[in-house]
Amino acid sequence: MISVEEALAKVLELVGPLPAETVPLRAALGRVMAAPARAGLTQPPFSASAMDGYWLAAPDHRPGATLTVVGESAAGRSFGGTLAAGQCIRIFTGAPVPADGGTVVLQENVTRAGDAITLPDTLAETDNIRPRGQDFAEGAEFCPARPLTPADLGLLAGMNVAEVSVYRRPEIALIATGDELVMPGEAPGPDQILCSNNFVVGAIAEAAGARVRMLPIARDTEDSLRGVFALAEGADLVVTSGGASVGSHDLVGQVAAELGLERSFWKIAMRPGKPLMAGKMGAAAMLGLPGNPVSATVCAHLFLVPMLQKMQGLPATHAPRRAMLAEDVGPTGPRTHFMRARLRETEGLPEITAFANQDSAMLSVLAEADALLIRPLGDGPRKAGEIVEYLPLR
Protein backbone atom coordinates (compact mmCIF):
# COMPACT_ATOMS: atom_id res chain seq x y z
CA MET A 1 0.00 0.00 0.00
CA ILE A 2 1.30 3.46 -0.89
CA SER A 3 1.28 6.40 1.51
CA VAL A 4 -1.19 9.26 1.48
CA GLU A 5 1.55 11.62 0.17
CA GLU A 6 2.46 9.23 -2.67
CA ALA A 7 -1.21 8.80 -3.54
CA LEU A 8 -1.67 12.57 -3.65
CA ALA A 9 1.33 12.95 -5.97
CA LYS A 10 -0.06 10.19 -8.20
CA VAL A 11 -3.61 11.58 -8.47
CA LEU A 12 -2.14 14.99 -9.32
CA GLU A 13 -0.17 13.39 -12.17
CA LEU A 14 -3.51 12.37 -13.70
CA VAL A 15 -4.76 15.93 -14.26
CA GLY A 16 -3.51 19.28 -15.50
CA PRO A 17 -4.86 22.82 -15.76
CA LEU A 18 -7.90 23.00 -18.05
CA PRO A 19 -8.11 25.45 -20.98
CA ALA A 20 -9.11 29.05 -20.30
CA GLU A 21 -12.44 30.62 -21.26
CA THR A 22 -13.75 34.16 -21.10
CA VAL A 23 -16.70 34.90 -18.84
CA PRO A 24 -18.57 38.10 -17.98
CA LEU A 25 -17.65 39.56 -14.61
CA ARG A 26 -21.09 38.65 -13.23
CA ALA A 27 -20.29 34.96 -13.76
CA ALA A 28 -16.75 35.06 -12.37
CA LEU A 29 -17.37 34.55 -8.64
CA GLY A 30 -15.35 31.54 -7.44
CA ARG A 31 -13.55 31.15 -10.77
CA VAL A 32 -9.77 31.23 -11.04
CA MET A 33 -8.19 33.72 -13.41
CA ALA A 34 -6.04 32.24 -16.17
CA ALA A 35 -4.54 35.52 -17.40
CA PRO A 36 -4.05 38.90 -15.72
CA ALA A 37 -6.61 41.67 -16.10
CA ARG A 38 -5.29 45.23 -16.55
CA ALA A 39 -6.77 48.37 -15.07
CA GLY A 40 -8.32 50.52 -17.80
CA LEU A 41 -7.90 53.69 -15.74
CA THR A 42 -6.12 55.19 -12.76
CA GLN A 43 -8.26 55.09 -9.61
CA PRO A 44 -9.26 57.55 -8.39
CA PRO A 45 -8.75 59.25 -11.76
CA PHE A 46 -8.58 62.66 -9.99
CA SER A 47 -7.83 63.71 -6.42
CA ALA A 48 -11.21 63.60 -4.73
CA SER A 49 -12.82 64.77 -1.54
CA ALA A 50 -13.41 62.03 1.06
CA MET A 51 -16.03 64.11 2.91
CA ASP A 52 -18.87 66.59 2.44
CA GLY A 53 -17.67 70.09 3.32
CA TYR A 54 -15.66 72.98 1.85
CA TRP A 55 -12.45 72.93 -0.14
CA LEU A 56 -10.00 75.75 0.38
CA ALA A 57 -6.43 76.43 -0.74
CA ALA A 58 -3.60 75.89 1.74
CA PRO A 59 -2.88 79.59 2.50
CA ASP A 60 -6.53 80.07 3.55
CA HIS A 61 -6.48 77.13 5.95
CA ARG A 62 -6.09 79.20 9.13
CA PRO A 63 -7.93 78.94 12.47
CA GLY A 64 -10.97 81.24 12.58
CA ALA A 65 -10.57 82.41 8.92
CA THR A 66 -13.70 83.58 7.11
CA LEU A 67 -14.01 82.63 3.42
CA THR A 68 -16.53 83.26 0.64
CA VAL A 69 -18.20 80.28 -1.04
CA VAL A 70 -18.01 80.91 -4.80
CA GLY A 71 -18.99 77.56 -6.33
CA GLU A 72 -19.52 73.84 -5.91
CA SER A 73 -17.89 70.53 -6.88
CA ALA A 74 -20.12 67.45 -6.76
CA ALA A 75 -19.35 63.82 -7.67
CA GLY A 76 -19.60 63.70 -11.46
CA ARG A 77 -19.72 67.52 -11.80
CA SER A 78 -16.50 69.34 -10.99
CA PHE A 79 -16.01 73.06 -10.31
CA GLY A 80 -14.60 74.51 -13.52
CA GLY A 81 -13.37 77.86 -12.20
CA THR A 82 -10.38 79.17 -10.31
CA LEU A 83 -10.31 80.57 -6.79
CA ALA A 84 -8.88 83.84 -5.54
CA ALA A 85 -7.44 84.26 -2.05
CA GLY A 86 -10.18 84.17 0.60
CA GLN A 87 -12.49 82.05 -1.56
CA CYS A 88 -13.61 78.44 -1.17
CA ILE A 89 -16.07 76.03 -2.76
CA ARG A 90 -18.70 73.71 -1.43
CA ILE A 91 -17.53 70.11 -2.11
CA PHE A 92 -19.13 66.68 -1.76
CA THR A 93 -17.75 63.19 -1.14
CA GLY A 94 -16.17 61.78 -4.30
CA ALA A 95 -16.04 65.14 -6.08
CA PRO A 96 -12.83 66.31 -7.80
CA VAL A 97 -10.82 68.93 -5.89
CA PRO A 98 -10.08 72.07 -7.93
CA ALA A 99 -6.29 72.05 -7.40
CA ASP A 100 -3.50 70.24 -5.59
CA GLY A 101 -2.49 71.12 -2.06
CA GLY A 102 -5.77 72.25 -0.50
CA THR A 103 -7.87 70.92 2.34
CA VAL A 104 -11.47 69.80 2.76
CA VAL A 105 -12.96 71.07 6.02
CA LEU A 106 -16.00 69.08 7.20
CA GLN A 107 -19.26 71.00 6.90
CA GLU A 108 -20.15 70.29 10.54
CA ASN A 109 -16.91 71.98 11.61
CA VAL A 110 -17.63 75.40 9.99
CA THR A 111 -20.16 78.13 10.72
CA ARG A 112 -22.02 79.23 7.62
CA ALA A 113 -23.81 82.55 7.20
CA GLY A 114 -25.06 83.29 3.67
CA ASP A 115 -22.10 82.90 1.30
CA ALA A 116 -19.54 83.04 4.12
CA ILE A 117 -18.03 80.24 6.18
CA THR A 118 -15.89 80.63 9.27
CA LEU A 119 -13.32 77.95 10.11
CA PRO A 120 -13.06 76.60 13.66
CA ASP A 121 -10.39 77.80 16.10
CA THR A 122 -8.78 74.37 16.10
CA LEU A 123 -8.12 72.84 12.68
CA ALA A 124 -8.06 69.11 12.00
CA GLU A 125 -4.78 67.70 10.68
CA THR A 126 -6.21 65.58 7.87
CA ASP A 127 -6.85 67.06 4.46
CA ASN A 128 -9.77 64.65 3.76
CA ILE A 129 -8.54 64.18 0.18
CA ARG A 130 -8.03 60.89 -1.65
CA PRO A 131 -5.02 61.40 -3.90
CA ARG A 132 -5.27 60.50 -7.57
CA GLY A 133 -4.11 56.91 -8.16
CA GLN A 134 -4.01 55.88 -4.49
CA ASP A 135 -6.01 52.71 -5.29
CA PHE A 136 -4.33 51.58 -8.53
CA ALA A 137 -2.74 52.95 -11.68
CA GLU A 138 -3.90 52.47 -15.27
CA GLY A 139 -2.38 49.23 -16.61
CA ALA A 140 -1.98 47.65 -13.15
CA GLU A 141 -2.32 43.86 -13.37
CA PHE A 142 -4.57 41.68 -11.24
CA CYS A 143 -4.45 37.86 -11.27
CA PRO A 144 -4.81 36.31 -7.79
CA ALA A 145 -3.96 32.61 -7.41
CA ARG A 146 -7.24 31.83 -5.67
CA PRO A 147 -10.92 31.65 -6.52
CA LEU A 148 -12.29 35.14 -7.13
CA THR A 149 -14.06 36.63 -4.13
CA PRO A 150 -16.87 39.22 -4.08
CA ALA A 151 -14.26 41.89 -3.25
CA ASP A 152 -12.18 40.78 -6.28
CA LEU A 153 -15.21 41.33 -8.52
CA GLY A 154 -15.55 44.83 -7.08
CA LEU A 155 -11.88 45.55 -7.81
CA LEU A 156 -12.16 44.22 -11.37
CA ALA A 157 -15.30 46.30 -11.97
CA GLY A 158 -13.45 49.36 -10.62
CA MET A 159 -10.65 48.59 -13.08
CA ASN A 160 -13.20 48.66 -15.94
CA VAL A 161 -12.73 44.95 -16.63
CA ALA A 162 -16.02 43.58 -17.97
CA GLU A 163 -14.83 40.06 -18.84
CA VAL A 164 -12.16 37.84 -17.35
CA SER A 165 -10.16 34.89 -18.61
CA VAL A 166 -10.69 31.97 -16.22
CA TYR A 167 -9.87 28.27 -16.20
CA ARG A 168 -12.77 26.15 -17.42
CA ARG A 169 -14.61 24.49 -14.57
CA PRO A 170 -13.77 20.78 -14.23
CA GLU A 171 -16.71 18.62 -15.28
CA ILE A 172 -17.03 15.57 -13.07
CA ALA A 173 -19.28 12.55 -13.52
CA LEU A 174 -20.39 10.95 -10.25
CA ILE A 175 -21.27 7.27 -10.22
CA ALA A 176 -22.58 5.55 -7.09
CA THR A 177 -22.59 1.78 -7.27
CA GLY A 178 -24.51 -0.88 -5.37
CA ASP A 179 -27.75 -2.90 -5.47
CA GLU A 180 -28.49 -1.67 -1.96
CA LEU A 181 -28.80 1.99 -2.93
CA VAL A 182 -31.84 4.14 -3.62
CA MET A 183 -31.99 7.89 -4.06
CA PRO A 184 -33.39 10.22 -1.38
CA GLY A 185 -37.15 10.48 -1.83
CA GLU A 186 -37.48 6.89 -2.99
CA ALA A 187 -38.77 4.12 -0.73
CA PRO A 188 -35.92 1.78 0.27
CA GLY A 189 -36.66 -1.95 0.27
CA PRO A 190 -35.93 -3.96 3.42
CA ASP A 191 -32.29 -4.58 2.37
CA GLN A 192 -31.64 -1.12 1.04
CA ILE A 193 -30.13 2.16 2.25
CA LEU A 194 -29.99 5.64 0.83
CA CYS A 195 -27.28 6.86 -1.53
CA SER A 196 -25.60 9.62 0.44
CA ASN A 197 -22.16 9.62 -1.19
CA ASN A 198 -23.24 11.48 -4.33
CA PHE A 199 -24.56 14.30 -2.21
CA VAL A 200 -21.55 14.81 0.01
CA VAL A 201 -18.98 14.19 -2.72
CA GLY A 202 -20.96 16.26 -5.25
CA ALA A 203 -21.20 19.15 -2.80
CA ILE A 204 -17.48 18.99 -1.96
CA ALA A 205 -16.71 19.04 -5.69
CA GLU A 206 -19.06 21.94 -6.41
CA ALA A 207 -17.66 23.93 -3.51
CA ALA A 208 -14.22 23.33 -5.05
CA GLY A 209 -15.36 24.75 -8.40
CA ALA A 210 -16.48 21.66 -10.35
CA ARG A 211 -19.64 21.12 -12.35
CA VAL A 212 -21.17 17.83 -11.30
CA ARG A 213 -23.04 15.39 -13.50
CA MET A 214 -24.80 13.00 -11.12
CA LEU A 215 -25.38 9.77 -13.05
CA PRO A 216 -27.94 7.05 -12.27
CA ILE A 217 -26.89 4.53 -9.63
CA ALA A 218 -25.01 1.62 -11.19
CA ARG A 219 -26.20 -1.80 -10.06
CA ASP A 220 -23.79 -4.58 -9.15
CA THR A 221 -23.65 -6.06 -12.65
CA GLU A 222 -21.08 -5.56 -15.37
CA ASP A 223 -23.79 -4.45 -17.82
CA SER A 224 -25.19 -1.82 -15.49
CA LEU A 225 -21.73 -0.46 -14.69
CA ARG A 226 -20.78 -0.35 -18.38
CA GLY A 227 -24.01 1.49 -19.17
CA VAL A 228 -23.44 4.12 -16.52
CA PHE A 229 -19.74 4.55 -17.37
CA ALA A 230 -20.90 5.30 -20.95
CA LEU A 231 -22.93 8.21 -19.58
CA ALA A 232 -19.72 9.71 -18.14
CA GLU A 233 -18.46 10.36 -21.69
CA GLY A 234 -16.91 13.82 -22.03
CA ALA A 235 -16.32 14.40 -18.31
CA ASP A 236 -12.84 15.50 -17.22
CA LEU A 237 -12.96 13.28 -14.17
CA VAL A 238 -15.07 10.19 -13.42
CA VAL A 239 -15.63 9.64 -9.69
CA THR A 240 -17.16 6.36 -8.58
CA SER A 241 -18.02 5.30 -5.06
CA GLY A 242 -18.38 1.79 -3.77
CA GLY A 243 -17.37 -1.50 -5.30
CA ALA A 244 -13.71 -0.68 -4.76
CA SER A 245 -12.81 -3.31 -2.18
CA VAL A 246 -12.29 -7.05 -2.43
CA GLY A 247 -15.88 -8.37 -2.16
CA SER A 248 -17.16 -10.46 -5.06
CA HIS A 249 -19.63 -7.69 -5.90
CA ASP A 250 -16.87 -5.08 -6.09
CA LEU A 251 -16.82 -4.81 -9.84
CA VAL A 252 -15.74 -1.26 -10.41
CA GLY A 253 -12.03 -1.96 -10.95
CA GLN A 254 -12.77 -4.91 -13.22
CA VAL A 255 -15.26 -3.10 -15.46
CA ALA A 256 -13.17 0.09 -15.53
CA ALA A 257 -10.17 -2.02 -16.64
CA GLU A 258 -12.23 -3.56 -19.46
CA LEU A 259 -13.16 -0.02 -20.51
CA GLY A 260 -9.49 0.96 -20.71
CA LEU A 261 -8.59 2.13 -17.21
CA GLU A 262 -4.83 2.54 -16.86
CA ARG A 263 -4.62 2.10 -13.14
CA SER A 264 -2.22 4.33 -11.27
CA PHE A 265 -2.76 2.70 -7.87
CA TRP A 266 -5.27 0.77 -5.81
CA LYS A 267 -5.20 0.76 -2.00
CA ILE A 268 -3.45 3.24 0.23
CA ALA A 269 -2.21 3.24 3.80
CA MET A 270 -5.02 5.43 5.01
CA ARG A 271 -7.91 5.00 7.40
CA PRO A 272 -10.63 5.47 6.32
CA GLY A 273 -10.17 5.10 2.59
CA LYS A 274 -7.94 2.07 2.12
CA PRO A 275 -9.48 0.78 -1.15
CA LEU A 276 -9.05 4.08 -3.03
CA MET A 277 -8.31 3.56 -6.72
CA ALA A 278 -7.13 6.05 -9.35
CA GLY A 279 -6.11 6.05 -12.97
CA LYS A 280 -6.74 7.37 -16.43
CA MET A 281 -9.64 6.35 -18.70
CA GLY A 282 -8.95 7.81 -22.13
CA ALA A 283 -8.74 11.58 -21.72
CA ALA A 284 -10.49 11.50 -18.34
CA ALA A 285 -9.02 10.87 -14.93
CA MET A 286 -10.75 8.29 -12.77
CA LEU A 287 -11.02 8.29 -9.00
CA GLY A 288 -12.63 5.23 -7.41
CA LEU A 289 -13.77 6.15 -3.91
CA PRO A 290 -14.57 3.52 -1.29
CA GLY A 291 -18.27 3.00 -0.62
CA ASN A 292 -18.34 3.75 3.10
CA PRO A 293 -19.71 7.30 3.36
CA VAL A 294 -16.96 8.59 5.65
CA SER A 295 -14.25 6.94 3.55
CA ALA A 296 -15.66 8.49 0.37
CA THR A 297 -15.88 11.89 2.05
CA VAL A 298 -12.38 11.85 3.53
CA CYS A 299 -10.93 10.73 0.17
CA ALA A 300 -12.87 13.50 -1.58
CA HIS A 301 -11.33 16.10 0.74
CA LEU A 302 -7.84 14.63 0.51
CA PHE A 303 -7.62 13.76 -3.19
CA LEU A 304 -10.56 15.05 -5.23
CA VAL A 305 -10.25 18.64 -4.00
CA PRO A 306 -6.52 18.93 -4.82
CA MET A 307 -7.20 17.42 -8.28
CA LEU A 308 -9.89 20.05 -8.87
CA GLN A 309 -7.52 22.76 -7.63
CA LYS A 310 -4.82 21.71 -10.07
CA MET A 311 -7.34 21.55 -12.92
CA GLN A 312 -8.24 25.17 -12.16
CA GLY A 313 -4.65 26.35 -12.10
CA LEU A 314 -4.45 26.54 -8.30
CA PRO A 315 -1.72 25.24 -6.02
CA ALA A 316 -2.85 21.77 -4.90
CA THR A 317 -1.81 20.96 -1.38
CA HIS A 318 -3.08 19.90 1.99
CA ALA A 319 -2.58 22.62 4.57
CA PRO A 320 -2.59 20.97 8.00
CA ARG A 321 -3.11 23.25 10.97
CA ARG A 322 -2.09 22.82 14.58
CA ALA A 323 -4.32 22.14 17.57
CA MET A 324 -3.96 20.89 21.12
CA LEU A 325 -5.41 17.53 22.08
CA ALA A 326 -8.26 17.99 24.56
CA GLU A 327 -8.30 14.28 25.46
CA ASP A 328 -5.88 11.36 25.27
CA VAL A 329 -5.91 9.29 22.06
CA GLY A 330 -4.67 5.74 21.54
CA PRO A 331 -1.95 4.51 19.16
CA THR A 332 -2.51 4.23 15.40
CA GLY A 333 -2.04 1.13 13.27
CA PRO A 334 -0.32 0.71 9.89
CA ARG A 335 -2.41 3.40 8.17
CA THR A 336 -2.50 7.19 8.60
CA HIS A 337 -5.71 7.75 10.51
CA PHE A 338 -7.89 10.75 9.73
CA MET A 339 -10.09 10.87 12.80
CA ARG A 340 -13.36 12.78 12.78
CA ALA A 341 -12.97 15.45 15.41
CA ARG A 342 -14.44 18.56 16.92
CA LEU A 343 -12.57 21.84 17.39
CA ARG A 344 -13.04 24.28 20.24
CA GLU A 345 -11.70 27.81 19.94
CA THR A 346 -9.46 29.03 22.75
CA GLU A 347 -7.28 32.11 23.10
CA GLY A 348 -4.31 30.10 21.82
CA LEU A 349 -4.36 27.03 19.57
CA PRO A 350 -7.80 25.44 19.19
CA GLU A 351 -8.50 22.32 21.23
CA ILE A 352 -9.36 19.17 19.31
CA THR A 353 -11.34 16.14 20.46
CA ALA A 354 -11.71 12.98 18.37
CA PHE A 355 -15.18 11.43 18.36
CA ALA A 356 -15.41 8.16 20.25
CA ASN A 357 -17.10 6.40 17.34
CA GLN A 358 -14.82 6.35 14.28
CA ASP A 359 -16.90 3.84 12.25
CA SER A 360 -16.59 4.86 8.60
CA ALA A 361 -20.33 4.45 8.05
CA MET A 362 -21.38 7.09 10.64
CA LEU A 363 -23.04 9.97 8.79
CA SER A 364 -24.16 11.69 11.99
CA VAL A 365 -20.61 11.85 13.38
CA LEU A 366 -19.35 13.07 10.00
CA ALA A 367 -21.91 15.88 9.98
CA GLU A 368 -20.86 17.00 13.45
CA ALA A 369 -17.13 16.85 12.75
CA ASP A 370 -15.45 20.11 11.77
CA ALA A 371 -11.94 18.68 11.50
CA LEU A 372 -9.93 15.59 10.63
CA LEU A 373 -7.35 14.89 13.31
CA ILE A 374 -4.29 13.52 11.48
CA ARG A 375 -2.67 10.56 13.24
CA PRO A 376 0.49 9.44 11.43
CA LEU A 377 0.75 5.72 10.83
CA GLY A 378 2.55 3.91 13.61
CA ASP A 379 2.07 6.84 16.01
CA GLY A 380 2.02 6.03 19.70
CA PRO A 381 -0.67 7.06 22.18
CA ARG A 382 -0.89 10.82 22.71
CA LYS A 383 -1.82 12.71 25.86
CA ALA A 384 -4.18 15.65 26.31
CA GLY A 385 -2.20 18.86 25.86
CA GLU A 386 0.06 17.51 23.08
CA ILE A 387 0.17 19.45 19.82
CA VAL A 388 -1.26 17.62 16.80
CA GLU A 389 -2.16 18.41 13.21
CA TYR A 390 -5.61 18.54 11.65
CA LEU A 391 -7.35 19.41 8.41
CA PRO A 392 -10.38 21.69 8.67
CA LEU A 393 -13.63 20.34 7.22
CA ARG A 394 -15.52 23.65 7.17
Ligand X SMILES: Nc1nc2c(c(=O)[nH]1)N[C@H]1C(S)=C(S)[C@@H](COP(=O)(O)OP(=O)(O)OC[C@H]3O[C@@H](n4cnc5c(N)ncnc54)[C@H](O)[C@@H]3O)O[C@H]1N2
Could you list the residues that contact ligand X (CB under 6 A)? Answer: 176, 178, 180-181, 193, 195-198, 241-247, 250, 272, 274-275, 290-293, 295, 360-361
Long-range contacts of 361-364 (CB under 8 A, 24+ apart): 361/292, 361/293, 361/294, 362/294, 363/196, 363/293, 363/294
Residue 337 is a binding residue for ligand MOO (CB under 6 A): no
Q: Binds 90, which of ligand MOO, ligand X, none (CB < 5 to 8 A, cut-off by type)?
A: none
Q: Binds 180, which of ligand X, ligand MOO, none (CB < 5 to 8 A, cut-off by type)?
A: ligand X
Residue 293 is a binding residue for ligand MOO (CB under 6 A): no
Q: Binds 244, which of ligand MOO, ligand X, none (CB < 5 to 8 A, cut-off by type)?
A: ligand X
Q: Binds 173, which of ligand MOO, ligand X, none (CB < 5 to 8 A, cut-off by type)?
A: none
- Using CB under 6 A, which of 98, 209, 272, 306 touches ligand MOO? 272
Provide the terminal-to-terminal Cα distance of the chain, rounded to the nearest Å.
Answer: 29
Residue 243 is a binding residue for ligand MOO (CB under 6 A): no
Query: What CA–CA distance (Å, rounded) separates 59 from 104?
Result: 13
Residue 53 is a binding residue for ligand MOO (CB under 6 A): no
Query: What CA–CA distance (Å, rounded) separates 271 from 66?
Result: 79
In angstroms, what is the minimal distance from the CB of 358 to ligand X? 12
Q: Which run of H or E residues covers position 344?
A: strand 336-344
Query: What CA–CA distance (Å, rounded) separates 391 from 297?
Result: 13
Q: What is the 3-state secondary structure (H, E, C) of 51-103?
A: CCEEEECHHHCCCCCEEEEEEEEECCECCCCCCCCCEEEEECCCCECCCCCCE
Nearest to 273 by CA among 252, 290, 287, 288: 290
56 forms beta bridges with 88, 103
Distance (Å) of CA 40 to CA 20, 45, 139, 143: 22, 11, 6, 15
Chain center to CA of 276: 25
User: Are the CB atoms for 286 and 237 separated by under 8 Å?
Assistant: yes
Residue 336 is a binding residue for ligand MOO (CB under 6 A): no
Q: Which is nearer to ligand X, 249 or 321 (CB)?
A: 249
- Using CB under 6 A, which of 271, 301, 340, 382 touches ligand MOO? 271
Q: Binds 293, which of ligand MOO, ligand X, none (CB < 5 to 8 A, cut-off by type)?
A: ligand X
In angstroms, what is the minimal distance from the CB of 356 to ligand X? 19
In angstroms, what is the minimal distance from the CB of 246 to ligand X? 5
Q: Which is nearer to ligand X, 105 or 281 (CB)?
A: 281
212 forms beta bridges with 172
Closest chain position to ligand X (CB):
291
Query: What CA–CA distance (Å, rounded) separates 295 from 303?
Result: 12
Closest chain position to ligand MOO (CB):
272
Q: Which of residues 352-391 bind ligand MOO (CB under 6 A)?
A: 360
In angstroms, what is the minimal distance from the CB of 3 to ligand MOO? 15
Residues near ligand MOO (CB under 6 A): 271-274, 290, 292, 295, 360
